[in-house]
Chains A and B, each alone.
Chain A
Amino acid sequence: MPDMIEKSAPAGEDAIPAQRGGAVAEAKAEKPRSLGLDAWHDLRKRPVFIISAVLIVVLVLFAIAPGLFTSVDPRAGDLSKHYLSKPNYLHLFQADWFGYDGQGRSIYARMIYGARASMVVGICVTAGVTIVGGLLGMAAGYYGGWVDTIISRFTDMAFGIPLLLGALVILNAFQVRTVWSVVFALVVLGWTQMTRVMRGSVITVKQSDYVTAAKALGAGTGRIMFKHILPNAIAPVIVVATIALGGYIAAEATLSFLGIGLQDPTISWGIDINSAQKVIRQAPFVLFFPAGMLSVTVLAFIMLGDAVRDALDPKLR
């Protein structure tokens, strides 16, 4: 997220983090800050942003290098250590820290390894939806006329299909379901929201004087769309995308919970929540830890989205 904001900032931004304090005021005097840079300065001071960013960095580390946090194989089941042997909360970072699940697998190791599926689904679906929806929305908003009519009506039709229901139908068509089939299903159903946001935003920006000026100077359609309109229309899309990311992670877990998302041997918190329901009365901790991880992950992205929205749209404050 911070990456995207930084990229939209002007070239002067490199100098600012290096020499803070007095240099910031100088840079300000030389060049007015862009919306993205302004938002970034604002974000760095917000506790909500810092907490969620730290959480997300840790989760991304879990996803990239789970071996750093546990040396236990999350798929190795030892039935002599099943859920009735209580967790040992003093054994920090060890296999029995949070106990074992119904098949004697370390809950702690599965919590760490489960981050990968959630992160990949969340990030890839958001990227896919933003690209597909963003391009369609830009085309609809910029060209107007029959292009807009066709794209908007098609969006309306696809919007009527509930996300969970449509994903169930699509995923049922896959015999073997991997992370990528879940990503595919969620992108196919999720782009409509992004198209609507982008279209509305582009229509507003299109009428600005600087767009007219660029046209008068003879800029081509591509240049106007990507150099002038896109940077000014992207803010609401970034906000919606960040908040939606948490929603896609929850959707993956829900689908896996229903037995129609990810399958073993992929490790997913949703699958673990499903298998925990059989032992919930004797061992609630088997449900608690994957469910807690899932909730914290979704929470981190929703908080990030809230902070980004406040920073990008000062009117909403």
Chain B
Amino acid sequence: MGRYVARRLLQMIPVFLGTVTIIFFMTRMLPGDPAAAMWGDKAADPAQLAAFKHARGLDLSKWQQYLHYMGDLFTGDFGLTMNNRKVIDVIGEALPVTIRLALLAFVFELVVGIGIGLFAGLRRGKAFDKSTLVLTLLLISIPVPVLGFVFQNVFAIQLGWVTPTVQSSTNLGQLILPAVVLGSISLAYVARLTRTSIAENLKADYMRTAVAKGLPRRKVIGTHLLRNSIIPVITFLGTDLGALMGGAIVTEGIFNVQGVGNSLYHAIGRSEGATVSGFVVVLVLVFLFASLLVDLLYAVLDPRIRYA
């Protein structure tokens, strides 16, 4: 186990470096000069502009900038934004908000999705199963902006259950609606995956044995069926955690959540290369560790899987 984790961590290094390299050059090729944009509508004073660029190392070639950036990254220095804030501070402000939002969405899709999928799979072909299939298909095909506006209009403006936008990002009650919107499409996938897996495993020999030896129904379903059916769902949830953190651009915009998605969207608009690549570095790390966690969970759930 320990050796397996060590090997996986080592394999992550080239992937991490590669992704950071790709994103560095993508963001540094953004058009427009963010340094000159600091003078607003006025033409920048050439001497001041040159001094600023020199101080920031922006006058170096792209390759030199890249080497400096990577060197700084390993000492934990993510660079500065154009208005002299540390990128790490900007990330530190936005990340906790997004983590709260993503975790809420994650718990929502995990609990509700597996619950619905379990009931539908156990009653395959019945009315509940059929309506689950139709409703999840509809949910998958509704794009996030549409779903966001519909939910905001119905639950916040017409019914008045929640506030339409998030005023305080530490208030979990206000984060519930955006979390539901964020998690709903994945919820549909989780429900469908669970349903298929449960329906398949219902016919397995170990299920017949478990019923035949007189185990109570709760135990047959909880210990034997669910545990064996959950692996494909875990695979999906693992990749989804990363997607929830980075893919919240639309949801955070609609509900005014000051998280990673919102900060990234504005940073891209202002061509702030350092800020964008800083956020992406963090997101890629989350993504890589989530997939490692998933592989380790396989071994916990299915003792036949052993990592040497």
Contact = CB atoms under 8 A, between A and B. Distances in A.
Interface of A: 153-154, 156-158, 160-162, 164-166, 168-170, 172-173, 175, 246, 250, 253-254, 257-258, 260, 270, 273-274, 277, 280-281, 284, 287, 291, 294-296, 298-299, 302-303, 306
A294 B31 contact: no
A170 B26 contact: yes
Nearest to B254: A277
B137 A302 contact: yes
Contacts of A154: 18
B137 to A, nearest CB: 7
Interface of B is mostly: helix
Interface in B33-51: none
A296 B14 CA distance: 42
A199 to B, nearest CB: 16
A172 B249 contact: no
B283 interface: yes
Given A172-B268, A273-B149, A296-B141, 11 more contacts: A154-B18, A160-B15, A162-B246, A168-B264, A169-B23, A173-B31, A273-B146, A287-B146, A287-B149, A294-B146, A299-B138
A168 B283 CA distance: 15
A153 to B, nearest CB: 6
A155 to B, nearest CB: 10
A165 B280 contact: yes
Complex A-B, nearest 4 residue pairs according to Cβ-Cβ distance, in ascending order: A157-B18, A299-B141, A291-B146, A162-B246
A299 B145 contact: no
Interface of B: 14-16, 18-19, 21-23, 26-27, 29-31, 137-138, 140-146, 149-150, 153, 157, 242-243, 246-247, 249-250, 253, 264-265, 268-269, 271, 276, 280, 283-284, 287-288
Nearest to B19: A160
28 contacts: A153-B14, A154-B18, A157-B14, A157-B15, A157-B21, A158-B22, A160-B19, A160-B288, A161-B22, A161-B284, A162-B247, A164-B247, A165-B264, A166-B26, A168-B268, A169-B276, A172-B271, A173-B30, A250-B143, A254-B145, A257-B250, A273-B145, A273-B146, A277-B149, A291-B143, A295-B141, A298-B141, A299-B137
Nearest to A250: B143
B141 A162 contact: no
Contacts of B250: 164, 254, 257-258
A303 B268 CA distance: 35
A295 B146 contact: yes
Contact of A302 (B23, B140, B265): B140
A156 B19 CA distance: 8
A169 B253 contact: no
A302 B141 CA distance: 7
B31 A281 contact: no
Nearest to B23: A161
Contacts of B264: 165, 168
A257 B145 contact: yes
A31 B149 CA distance: 55
A281 B152 CA distance: 11
A157 B19 contact: yes
A246 B141 contact: yes
Contacts of A170: 26
B249 A168 contact: yes
Given A162-B246, A165-B249, A254-B250, A156 B15 contact: yes
B157 A281 contact: yes
Given A153-B18, A284-B153, A302-B137, A160 B287 contact: yes
Contact of B246 (A156, A165, A254): A165
Contacts of B26: 166, 169-170
Contacts of B141: 246, 250, 295-296, 298-299, 302
Contacts of B242: 162
B269 A295 contact: no
Contacts of B146: 273, 287, 291, 294-295
Nearest to B273: A169
A145 B42 CA distance: 57
B253 A254 contact: no
A295 B16 CA distance: 36
A172 B30 contact: yes
Contacts of B283: 162, 165
A166 B279 CA distance: 12
A310 B250 CA distance: 33
A208 to B, nearest CB: 26
B143 A298 contact: yes
A281 B153 contact: yes
Contacts of B153: 280-281, 284
Contact of A153 (B15, B247, B253): B15
A254 B26 CA distance: 21
A169 to B, nearest CB: 5
B1 to A, nearest CB: 23
A306 B136 CA distance: 13
Contacts of A254: 143-145, 250
Contact of B143 (A156, A157, A295): A295
Q: Which of B145, B249, B287 has the most CB of A within 10 A?
A: B145
Contacts of A166: 26
A257 B149 CA distance: 12
Contacts of B287: 160
B143 A303 contact: no
A169 B30 contact: yes
A52 B122 CA distance: 28
Given A168-B268, A302-B137, A302-B140, A253 B145 contact: yes
Contacts of A165: 246-247, 249, 264, 280, 283
A156 B18 CA distance: 9
